[in-house]
Amino acid sequence: MKHTLVSMAALGLGTSLVATILFVGPATAQTQNETSTLQNTNTVQAQESDEINQLEVNQQERAAAVEERLQTRCEAVKQRLEAHLERIEVRADNREDKYQNIVNKLNTLALRLENNNIATENLRLAIVDVSSLVSDFKSSYQTYVANVQNAANTACSGDSQLRQAIDQAKQSLDQAKADAEAISENVTNQLRPLLEQIKNDLASQANAERDN
């Protein structure tokens, strides 16, 4: 080592410079490694950031596609509701007219019987009952029509809102069906037997008058 230092001194190189030369190589290599590692890390982080950004973009695109499908489906459902509304409005008028005709004919029959001095207490009570049922049906069916109209007018801002409006329409339709069934049962179980009894009574009365 002394010989090396002397030789270095002879060349005009001091020991401090020698030390610098001895250690500058490894230090420079270490620095280069650290720089390379840092660059690699930055590159990986940049790639991860790009991947995350791309995932966000993909998610937004999927969300937009789902929203578009929901919007398209909603508009299609609303169109069907509007067409259905036109049909049920006609049905409502026809059904209400049919039931009202039954009540009108019963009232006409009662008047004829009363004009012939025939008791109509039971018939009048039956007319009150069926008239009440017809009124219930009119109310429930009008509610059904109104709920269908509301569903058709519901904005396509949310699938749940339209679904809720349709559910309300279904519930009101179920009530209208129940009221219509109540009228049918009343006609079958009360009115028809009563009218049959009145018919038989009139026939018996006519036979009695003929015999006399």
Nearest by Cα to 93 from 150, 135, 136, 141: 141
| DSSP of 20-60 | HHHHHHHHHHHHHHHHHHHHHHHHHHHHHHHHHHHHHHHHH
Domain total of the chain = 1
pLDDT, tens digit, 9 for 90 and up, residues 62-101 = 666 666 777 788 888 888 888 888 888 888 888 889 999 9
pLDDT, tens digit, 9 for 90 and up, residues 9-43 = 444 445 554 444 444 455 555 555 555 655 566 56
Evaluate whether residue 56 is within a structural domain. no
Evaluate whether residue 9 is within a structural domain. no
Contact predicate 99/176, CB 8 Å: no
Evaluate whether residue 87 is within a structural domain. yes
Evaluate whether residue 199 is within a structural domain. yes
Evaluate whether residue 197 is within a structural domain. yes
Separation between Cα atoms, residue 82 and residue 169, nearest integer Å? 13
Specify the pTM: 0.65
What integer is the mean pLDDT of 35-63?
A: 61
Evaluate whether residue 86 is within a structural domain. yes
Among the ranges given (29-38, 105-114, 181-190, 195-204), the one the predictor scored with the smallest mean pLDDT: 29-38
Evaluate whether residue 32 is within a structural domain. no
pLDDT at 11: 44
The 3 state secondary structure assigned to 128-169 is: HHHHHHHHHHHHHHHHHHHHHHHHHHCCCCCHHHHHHHHHHH
* Tokens at 116, concatenated: 């012939």
What integer is the mean pLDDT of 43-59?
A: 62
206 three-state secondary structure: helix
* pLDDT at residue 4 is higher than 70: no
Domain that holds residue 107: 77-211
